[in-house]
Amino acid sequence: MKTTPVTTRASRRTTNDDTAASRSEERALKLWVVLARAYGAVARHVEEDVARHGLTGAEFGILEALYHKGTLRLGEIQQKVLVTSGGITYLVDRLATKGLVERRECPEDRRVRYAALTAGGEALMRRIFPEHARAVAGALSGLGAAEQAEATALLRTLGLAAAEMPAAGAR
Amino acid sequence: MKTTPVTTRASRRTTNDDTAASRSEERALKLWVVLARAYGAVARHVEEDVARHGLTGAEFGILEALYHKGTLRLGEIQQKVLVTSGGITYLVDRLATKGLVERRECPEDRRVRYAALTAGGEALMRRIFPEHARAVAGALSGLGAAEQAEATALLRTLGLAAAEMPAAGAR
DNA sequence: CAAGATTGAAATCTCAATCTTA
DNA sequence: TAAGATTGAGATTTCAATCTTG
């Protein structure tokens, strides 16, 4: 998912035509650039924050999910953290060896595995989440309250639409 | 940079206090969630598009930078693609073995190395960039023209502010 | 066969150390 | 010494194949 576009406004060879389609595409490219850059810049701060506790961004994402939602199936975690199915197995393994998460079986459907915070994981999150929230707020402090609300609304519709879109085979 | 927050509105145990600070933090966390999700969803489409040509998102980022800006120093590319210094060396190597990019020396300062598109790389980008632009536009079509402009403005200030912020040591 | 998770191999990326030149 | 790039080692991720259960 390492993707960072670099197109800029003052580019050497942008298309010269001025059709509605090309203007629309340029607008989209510009948005994609700033979206990726903003995400990257904010993610850097967030990663630095969780690294202070010896955690990876992805690890913290899992802990956060379990902290807020309680026990979850591995598949559910996968959707939230946006990682391959092999990825969560690896990550949950690591969190388990750190003693922060434990696996549980599902009596109804024995194919599924649950993950849940251990007492230690729970305690850790209770201890570090507040300062994590402050760190995130700091990283996003470039926007005021009203602007943050606007941005949230726009990004929500953007993200939902993109997530529902057919997987590129439809062209 | 793999970071995907998962906090949601209807969380089990959000802080109960209602201070201005906590409300501000919750707003920020919400924005961080949708930012990461939107980025992830869009990036998935973009990666799929470039993968059809056997390219990685990061590889395409470099090609795009060189295509639009011309010859660049490796350090400049690094800033644009947001990858480690070892990372660009690796990526440029790969693009070079693919015959899309070539390294050049700098007479003035012999420490620096330039990267530039080869004729083949130039031809490839000329061929695939237009449909890439369409793919990006499609992935972002969840927002209308005016909304895209708003989002771009907000994300630009957000990203610039986050990029300029001190690296967490200041707390 | 399909869904869910795991495994092993390979690709990608980061990190710290190093080399070269300024 | 510092800046720029490279290297090698290791960590993280993906991918395809497999195992288990429905």
CB < 8 Å from A in window 110-169 of B? 130, 133-143, 145, 147-152, 154-163, 165, 167-168
Q: What is the pLDDT of residue B5?
A: 78
pLDDT band, residue A14 (cuts 50/70/90) = low
pLDDT band, residue B168 (cuts 50/70/90) = low
What percent of chain B lies above the pLDDT cut of 70? 90
pLDDT digits (tens, 9 = 90+) for A107-165: 999 999 999 999 999 999 999 999 999 999 999 999 999 999 999 999 999 999 999 88
> Is-above-0.85 flag for pTM?
yes
Q: What is the pLDDT of residue B18?
A: 76
d(CA A86, CA B105): 42
Beta-carbon neighbour count of residue B103 at 10 Å?
13
What value does the mean pLDDT of chain A take?
90
β-strands B113-117, A101-105 pairing: unpaired
- Cβ density class B132-171: b for 16+ within 10 Å, e for less: bbbbbbbbbebbeeebbebbbebbbbbbebbbebeebeee
pLDDT digits (tens, 9 = 90+) for B1-25: 557 776 544 445 555 677 888 889 9
Which of chain A's residues 100-139 bind strand C, using a 7 Å CB cutoff? Answer: 103, 111-113
Q: What is the pLDDT of residue B21?
A: 83
Q: What is the pLDDT of residue A2?
A: 60
Residue whose pair of structure tokens reads 């011309």 in the numeric block: B70
d(CA B152, CA B149): 5
Q: What is the pLDDT of residue A17?
A: 72
d(CA A131, CA A49): 9
* Residue A99 pLDDT > 90: yes
Q: How far is the CA of B110 from the C1' of C22 (A)?
A: 9
Mean pLDDT over A5-21 rounds to 63
Mean pLDDT over B81-102 rounds to 96
Question: Which has more confidence, B111 or B164?
Answer: B111
pLDDT digits (tens, 9 = 90+) for B37-64: 999 999 999 999 999 999 999 999 999 9
* Residue B169 pLDDT > 80: no
Q: How far is the CA of B47 from the C1' of C15 (A)?
A: 26
Q: What is the pLDDT of residue B170?
A: 41
Q: What is the pLDDT of residue A9?
A: 43
* Residue A20 pLDDT > 90: no
d(CA B138, CA A10): 23
Quote the tokens at residue B6.
Answer: 């998962």
| Of A45-59, A142-156, B13-27, B153-167, minimum mean pLDDT range | B13-27
Question: Which has more confidence, B1 or B141?
Answer: B141
pLDDT band, residue B102 (cuts 50/70/90) = very high
Would the CB atoms of B151 and A25 count as touching at under 8 Å? Answer: no
Q: Give yes or no for CB of B90 within 7 Å of strand D.
A: yes
Chain B interface test: which of A31, A34, A71 (most B C-beta within 10 Å): A31
Mean pLDDT over B110-121 rounds to 98
